[in-house]
Amino acid sequence: MSLRYLDKKSLFAYTGSTGFTFVELLVAMGIGAMVAAGAVMVLSQIFILVPKAENNMLAIRQAQNAGSWIDRDAKNAQFITPTPNLFTVSTATPLVISYVNWNSENTTVTYSVDAAHKLQRQIIVKDKNAVTISSNQIQVADSIASITAQYNQPDINNPRKILTVTIIAQVGSSSETRVFETSPRTY
């Protein structure tokens, strides 16, 4: 009887032992590999796609900012030069918008893109005696690849001219193209 007890005890010793089987270890390694692969995917999304999205958003903001400034000034315009040809805005060929304020002050706004791809806005205000009252220059937008502008009368039956400005902003590998159409005020 004691022999049987020893046999049963030895059987219980083997079946009640602690530790993992080979299959359990393989399953655990497979789950660990899937978790590691997921972590690598998340990190690659963070380090690759987030900067790309930031560059795209920055390009959109620069194009919108440049367009809103030009649109704002063009709505007040009485004179826009050069006309009516399609031209690229640069330091050599700036976009010049002129108008007279309600108090007879002559305002001239000049937009140009410099060699560093920055859109500069210079505004000069003169009184009715052509004496300069104020003058300042600000950087309106950065990373401007190109700006083309055309000021013409698209419809023969409509005497109103339209300023069409196409702005391309490029930040890194991301670029954004925006087209703004503005009809200056009439008197």
pLDDT tens-place string over residues 120-137: 999 999 998 889 999 999
Give the C-alpha separation, 187 to 184, whole Å: 10
Query: pTM to 2 decimals?
Result: 0.71
How far is the C-alpha of 187 from the C-alpha of 175, rounded, in Å? Answer: 38
Q: Which of 51, 72, 66 is nearest to 144 (CA)?
A: 66
- Identify the three-state secondary structure at position 45: helix
pLDDT digits over 128-165, tens only?
Answer: 888 999 999 999 999 999 888 888 766 677 677 888 88
pLDDT digits (tens, 9 = 90+) for 61-75: 999 999 999 999 888
* pLDDT interval class at 105 (50, 70, 90): confident
Q: Are the CB atoms for 120 and 114 separated by under 8 Å?
A: yes
Helix ranges (DSSP H) in the chain: 2-15, 22-44, 50-75
